[in-house]
Structure 1
Amino acid sequence: MTKDGKQVRVGVDIGGTFTDVAMEVDPTLHSIKVLTDYSFPENAIVAGVRQVAELAGVELSQIDTIIHGTTLATNALIERRGAKTAFITTKGFRDVIEMRTESRFEQYDLDIVLPAPLVGRDERFVLDERIGADGSVLKALDLAELDALCDHIIAEGYESVAVGLIHSYLNASHEKIVRDRLLAKSPNLSVSISAEVSPQMREFQRFNTVCANAFVKPLMASYLNRLVGRLSDAGTRCPVFMIHSGGGIISIESAIEFPVRLLESGPAGGAIFAAHVATSYGLDQVVSYDMGGTTAKICLIEGQVPKTSKSFEVARTYRFKKGSGMPISIPVIEMVEIGAGGGSIATVDSMRQIRVGPHSAGSEPGPACYDRGGENPTVTDADLLLGRLDPDAFAGGAMKLSRAASESAMEHDLASKLKIDISTAAYGISEMVDENMSNAARMHAVENGKELSDFTMIAFGGAAPIHAARLCEKLGIDELIIPPGAGVGSAIGFLRAPFGFESVRSAYSRLSKFNASAINGVISDLVKEATSFVRLGSPDAELDVECTAYMRYVGQGWEVPVTIEVRDYVDADGELYRKLFDERYERFFGRIIDGLDVEIVSWSLRATSKILPPAALSKTEKGKTAPTAGERQIFDAQEGVFQTASVVDRLHMKAGDWVAGPAVITERETSTIVTASREAIMQADGCLLIRTRQQA
């Protein structure tokens, strides 16, 4: 806290190219971007926090809270760079994570290659025990067999152990005995049990999730402990919290125990940021678009709430193909993510077509224009050659870009092979990456039964404002909002997130045999678990709780989520549950099915600290023309030619100031491209509203 009593909060997001730091000195926001350090990510965080504190004029000791999000756990899974992990399961289920669900995600590919399991067969071990589908013990653990297995695992030098026994989500006693036995023999061993990591039915997903947690747990524990130590050594005295995949804040201790919850923590912050802006303007249909240095993420936000799911996939081996990745059963803000960032590398394929991504130049060496040894043309190189970036003002002038290096890379890898000029090659890269993103957005919308032309886009991330207007042209979206601080949007989103945790559990019951006592017990247990995690970070906060029952007709394979009030129920409330299910099912599918019983398969309960909603705003219409800082030639993709564009400094724009495209609106962390078909109007809260040009 500053001397005049202002709260100081910091959000830190580690990306594939840049580490973003946002500092809020109530209510002023300061931000900085520094290159990510792959070997020791905490170095970039400490450097960034120091720089932004100097920018804000505060001491590190005055920081009250640091909230951190990272994709390090995701990268470790994708790169298979984790701990030496053993997996213990029930006899007969050793190969579940290799057999998967036996579904073909690419039906007509005769040479289909299934993703390799995270834990190899020679590292998977079995115990002759069995819990029944009703939770009863059908075959007790043989402690002598267990002790022998524990001794073998310790002797083989495993760093981490995942335990996933059949039906443990109903009865965790055997998994807990295995964990206790392992830790009694080797207290420093890292052990994860599926009954705590993901207590849900469907053993493939549950086993895979606990294996992923065990695989990254030592790595993330080491990193987070180092981070806290380095920040303390640098002079901070505040607690450090983590943002998790569901969009809430949890303690470092919880993050170390369940690092699989951090897999989508960075992108989740961006969705929260967009939802905050949507709430300000009362927008009920929003598509958030986050494009950084390595990936682009798209999320649907309806009713000012990001769409969520209780499972997702990482490390897909076939682009866009559901089922080709590693399933993770944890609560998550649902989004589509593709390898299309500023650092994505462009190549020419065997059909002489330009391909962009998913490989990225990252921060080491980075795009060719960084002049740090990168030799491949990237999206950033294309943007530079198309006039969208100022080589002397990139990252606020902290980094000079080399146009010559971009031209050399573009000529060598693309232009010479396709026998086209450098500008056409850059145009090809830009259109390809924009088309990839628009296709991904369309597919995501169709899967959710939505038409994107009815939505407003909110764009953020270092590269998104450069490409967002063109993406709106492709998707038929009329209005686009670029919030202030868009270049570090995810980091700002961390500062808008509540303390929160979502507990999940499978607990089967049929509505025809509605057992209110059992259901009340499940809800009570979920409330206790979720609130206990929230209280670790926010002991005195007033909490909101939201319960969801996942229900289906008997005989169906997948469930629909039904929101349930948290209270004590009586047996007669089975009719209420049926009514709620019918309403939800009809909303999804248009009609209900008569004569079928309904079953509850699993539950989730989200507990969050209450936060004040942002002030309601109305859109500001255009007033006077914005002051320009000059002109430069930029390429307009829809027109297919270079055009003279106005250059406007965002810092000097006031509410109502407007500029017609083509234009470039510059700021420290990014630039916003206003295409020839659009106009931009500065809003009262500092947002840029970019819309289809209005005819005079």
Structure 2
Amino acid sequence: MSDSKQARLAVDIGGTFTDIVLETSPGQHITGKYLTTHGAPEQAVLEGTRDLLAKSGVSPSQIRLVVHGTTLATNALIERKGAKTALISTAGFRDSLEMAYEHRFEVSDLYMVRPAPLVPRNLRLEVDERLAADGSVLRELDETSVRSLVPVLKEQAVEALAVCLLHSYVNGAHEKRVRDILRTELPDLKITLSHEICPEIREFERGSTVCANAYVQPIMESYLRRLASGLKAGGIDAQVMLMMSSGGLTSLDIACQQPIKLVESGPAGGAVLAADIARKLDLDAAIAFDMGGTTAKLVLIDKGLPHHSRHLEVARAYRFLRGSGMPLRVPVIDLVEIGAGGGSIARVDDLGRVEVGPESAGSEPGPACYGRGGTNPTVTDADLIMGKIDPETFAGGMITLDIEGARKALTGKLGGKVQLDARTSAIAIAEVVDENMANAARVHATDNGAELEGRTMIAFGGAAPMHAARIAQKLGIDTVVVPRGAGVGSAHGFLLAPVSYEAVRTRLLPLRSFDVDRARSIFAEMREEAASFVRLGVEDDAPLEERLSVYIRYRGQGHEVQVRLPSNVFEGNAEEIIKSLFEVEYRNHFGRIIPKMEIECLTWALTLSAETPLSAEKASGSGGGTAAPRRSQTLVDLASMEDNRADVYLRADLGIGATVKGPAIIGEAETNTMVPVGFTATIDSYGNLILQNARA
């Protein structure tokens, strides 16, 4: 590769801002935040890219790679703005999508309403066939029953089709034949097969996942193709890769086929960045905190690796309540996400309590202080009134903040209902949203059998550095790391992500009579599948890293725990190795094991990853001391509810070793860091801002 083509571009589209990072050379970046254009998301990307290229002097032809993450698929599911989708199931099973888990996720709510399936009952169609649980054919596919559905699909103007036949995760032959028959009659119909998207046991989750993929595929493919064409028209003839929810990259073509794997792509980028920082700083236990304009995300990181899962729920009807959303079985970084961002709208409920989110002002019109027509009080308005924002550095000076507009929104639509002035209303909003996030962290840690005390918080996103120290106080965390470029942290993480793919298979193997040859063949099959995808994005001779895991349970249990396996697991006594690892993991989750109970290995997973791109090394030069503040402003200390005079510093003025004592505000183009009373902030050798609570 010539030196003239070494620049890389990372783009993260959020609900409020589109973050763009242009890496001009290794370790050198220019960044920008641009308001998201919801009607055509690619517009903000293309306009922002042109702006950064002009500022940097980099030619479009010098960009060799574009890495992209987006919330478009997530938003389509939440807002129910996807394609008109039909589902084909085995005769007698079309209602499994609506029956779900056959339980009430909130037993005490008499008015509980279960979210409607993505596919209405009149579009849930059936074909005559049947496979046994081992994949053997009990009843051959009746092809006439498949062809009889063509008039229905045409009459209903179906845009996307999901095929989910019973036990197809073991044998996908019938699903493939259904696709082949229908493509002959309906060549333009987008078809998703469950055994390709989710080759795992559990009918409801598999059906929900394949329907979700079909539902978002047309809109995602259209957007991604428009973006690629727009980049090429702008002179950027580069490979376009997409960030997946698993923390790896995939090609544009695979993303168009399997867009459901992009659902949490933005937060995954942030987790990749946080994990890289944790490894550099030798942090054994950390928690990543990403707060943008619309949502906040929390990820546990242990020994330099974020927690992973194969299950997530989107569009939950009840905050924090499992079972109230749409389940998806895809590789994902295990995170908790709540509607608590800078644009989250505050209101007073019927009992006179202040509530914040999940509704967001987004970028159109945005918070009241943006002066774009917004009148609802938001978290950003509250932060401005409390002094946590430096108006001169906000959004690099691209947005002039309207302080009076924020004050009017707080007193008119919030404080006026409960007799609070603007300052007290702002404090109420901040405390509610910070406690919501702290509580989400507690619940998430409990679900994962983890402790929060003693962890280091790594904060990034446009709003996180303004809230991180207060949330850390609530959680008993004494150290907060705010990395360089924190305001566009997820986009920075995209540039650190490797090309990867996770293959998965449900194959039940009892551990008591463990079949090593069978396990080896399962991994060999998955290795071949994963390599075929990864090689689309890397050179044929590029080295690949392999990670193995298996989901294990005691016989009779309905759920499993994930156990990571060493690469040499089959070279020794595999049965004893797997049993020992399972018992350690089970004890971590539940505090005990169940002696003499039979153990079953259910679902196997293999991840192949290309080499991880190099991240920035320690910054050169020396520093020390404290730079002079640019100005000062009033800052509300939430721990004491008192006003303090806080110095305002520019992060660019702070060299390595520079120390700032709270109360202070450290401003930069994409975010502001709030240093409360009792904290000090120091620039480390990597350029990270380290906030330390004096009590430690």
Residue 49 of structure 1 aligns with which residue?
Answer: 49
The structure-2 alpha-carbon separation of the partners of 1:658 and 1:569, relative to structure 1 and needing over 3 Å to count, comes to closer
5 Å matches for 1:187-586?
Answer: 187-540=187-540, 541-566=542-567, 569=570, 573-586=574-587
Overall identity of the aligned pairs, in %? 47
TM score, norm. by length of structure 2 = 0.97
2:630 is aligned with 1:629:
yes
1:458 corresponds to which letter in structure 2? I
Distance 1:583 1:360 in 2: 42
Q: 1:682 Cα deviation (Å)?
A: 1.0
Cα offset, 1:590, TM superposition: 4.3
The 2-side partners of 1:248 and 1:419 are apart by: 50
* Number of residue pairs matched by the alignment: 693
d(CA) in 2 for partners of 1:276, 1:25 = 20
- How far did residue 245 of structure 1 move? 0.5
Question: Aligned to 1:509, what secondary structure does the other structure show?
Answer: strand
Q: After TM superposition, where is structure 1 displaced by more than 6 Å over at least 4 residues in a row?
A: 615-618
Contact residue 511 and residue 598 of structure 2 kept, 8 A: yes
Q: Is residue 2:653 matched to residue 1:652?
A: yes
Distance 1:634 1:122, change over 3 A: same
Alignment partner of 1:8 is 2:7: yes
Select between 620-629 and 386-395 the one with higher mean Cα deviation.
620-629
| Aligned partner of residue 184 in structure 1, secondary structure | helix
Structure-1 residue corresponding to 2:688: 687
Distance 1:625 1:575, change over 3 A: closer
Q: What is the alpha-carbon distance in structure 2 between the residues aligned to residue 597 and residue 392 of structure 1? A: 64
1:518-566, Cα deviation, whole Å (9 max, x unpaired): 2222111111111211111113321001111111121122112222345
- Please tell me the residue identity of whatever aligns with 1:322: R
Match in the other structure for 2:105: 105
1:12 deviates by 0.2
Distance 2:438 2:472 in 1: 8
- Cα offset for 1:588? 3.9
C-alpha deviations, 1:444-478, integer Å up to 9, x for none? Answer: 11222222121000000000011111111111110
Please give the alpha-carbon distance, in whole angstroms, between the structure 1 residues aligned to 2:224 and 2:164.
26
* 8 A contact 2:569–2:577 mirrored in 1: no
CA distance in 2, matches of 1:302, 1:439: 20
User: Hey, what does 1:608 align to over in structure 2?
Assistant: 609
**CA displacement, residues 132-152 of structure 1 (integer Å, 9 cap, x when unaligned):** 011100011111111111342
8 Å contact kept, 2:338–2:358 = yes
**Distance in 2 separating the partners of 1:304 and 1:489:** 17
Tell me the distance in 2 between the aligned counterparts of 1:522 and 1:205. Answer: 22
Which piece of structure 1 moves more, 194-203 or 508-517?
A: 508-517
Question: Given the alignment of the two structures, is residue 675 of structure 1 paired with residue 655 of structure 2, yes or no?
Answer: no
Partners of 2:346 and 2:590 lie apart in 1 by 41
Whether the aligned pair in 1 keeps the contact of 2:264 and 2:332 (CA below 8 Å) is yes
d(CA) in 1 for partners of 2:615 and 2:303? 15
**Contact 1:20–1:491 (8 Å) recurs in 2:** yes
Is the 8 Å Cα contact of residues 660 and 693 (structure 1) preserved in structure 2? no
Residues 663 and 622 of structure 1, relative CA distance in 2, 3 Å threshold: farther
In the alignment, the residues of structure 1 paired with residue 409 and residue 581 of structure 2 have an alpha-carbon distance, to the nearest angstrom, of: 59
The separation in 1 between residues aligned to 2:72 and 2:498, in whole angstroms, is 22
Aligned partner of 1:173 in structure 2 is: 173
For the structure 1 residues 228 and 409, does the alpha-carbon distance in structure 2 shift closer, same or farther, using more than 3 Å as the test?
same
Partner residue, 1:23: 22
**1:596: how far off?**
2.3
> In 2, are the aligned partners of 1:130 and 1:137 still within 8 Å (CA)?
yes
Secondary structure (helix, strand or coil) at the match of 2:32 reads strand
Partner SS for 1:537: coil
Q: 277-286 or 591-600: which moved more?
A: 591-600
Q: Are the counterparts in 1 of residues 390 and 648 from structure 2 also a CA contact under 8 Å?
A: no
What letter is aligned with 1:489? G
C-alpha deviations, 1:387-432, integer Å up to 9, x for none?
1223343211111011111111112101211112111111111111
Worse-matched range after superposition: 293-302 or 592-601: 592-601
CA distance in 1, matches of 2:613, 2:366: 40
- CA RMSD in angstroms, aligned pairs only: 1.9
Q: What is residue 164 of structure 1 aligned with on the other side?
A: 164
| Residue 39 to residue 352, structure 1, CA distance change in 2 (3 Å) | same
**225-234 or 632-641, which moves further after superposition?**
632-641
The superposition leaves residues 572-627 of structure 1 with CA deviations (integer Å, 9 ceiling, x where unpaired) of 74444334434433444444333222211111111111226657879x99952332
Counterpart amino acid of 1:664?
I
Question: Distance in 2 between the 1:617 and 1:138 partners?
Answer: 63
Amino acid at match of 1:682: I
> 1 CA distance for matches of 2:623 and 2:636?
25
Distance 1:503 1:95 in 2: 28
Alpha-carbon distance, 1:46 to partner: 0.4
- Distance in 1, Cα, partners of 2:76 & 2:335: 20
Please tell me the residue identity of whatever aligns with 1:518: R
Question: In structure 2, what residue type is equivalent to 1:542?
Answer: P
Secondary structure of 2:512's partner?
A: helix
Letter in 2 for 1:249: L
Corresponding residue SS for 2:148: helix
The Cα offsets for residues 72-113 of structure 1, whole Å up to 9 and x where unpaired, read as 000000011011111000111111111111232212112211
| 3-state SS of paired residue (1:462) | coil
- In structure 2, distance between residues paired with 1:539 and 1:89: 40
1:9, distance to aligned residue in structure 2 (A): 0.7
Matches within 5 A, 1:41-80: 41-80=41-80
In the superposition, the TM-score normalised over structure 1's length comes to 0.97
Q: Please give the secondary structure, in 2, of the residue aligned with 1:452.
A: coil
Please say which of residues 199-208 and 57-66 is displaced more in the overlay.
57-66
Instruction: Say whether the 8 Å CA contact 1:465–1:670 is kept in structure 2.
Output: yes
- Whether the 8 Å contact between 1:279 and 1:616 is mirrored in structure 2 is no
Q: Describe the SS at the equivalent of 1:55.
A: helix
Pick closer, same or farther for the CA change 1:592–1:641 going to 2, 3 Å.
closer
Contact kept? 1:457, 1:477, Cα under 8 Å: yes
Where do 5+ consecutive residues of structure 1 fail to align? none
Paired residues of 1:516 and 1:569 also in contact (CA < 8 A): yes
Secondary structure at 1:651 match in 2? helix
Alpha-carbon distance in 2 for matches of 1:180, 1:266: 35
Please tell me whether the aligned partners of residues 66 and 240 of structure 2 are also in contact (alpha carbons under 8 angstroms). yes
Give secondary structure in 2 for the equivalent of 1:513.
coil
Q: For residues 144-186 of structure 1, what are the alpha-carbon distances to aligned partners after superposition, in whole Å with 9 as ceiling and x for unaligned?
A: 1111113422343211100000100011011000011111111
Distance 1:652 1:473 in 2: 27
| 1:403 alignment partner AA | I
Uncovered stretches (5+) of structure 2, i.e. residues with no partner: none
Relative to structure 2, which stretch is displaced further, 443-452 or 378-387? 443-452
- Whether the 8 Å contact between 2:552 and 2:561 is mirrored in structure 1 is yes
- 1:129 CA drift (Å): 1.0
Q: Distance in 2 between matches of 1:400 and 1:357?
A: 24
Q: CA deviation at 1:571?
A: 11
State the secondary structure of the residue aligned to 2:75.
helix
Paired residue secondary structure (2:586): helix
Q: Which residue of the partner structure matches residue 667 of structure 2?
A: 666
Q: In the alignment, is the contact (CA less than 8 A) between 2:246 and 2:333 conserved in 1?
A: yes
Counterpart Cα distance in 1 of 2:142 and 2:573: 44
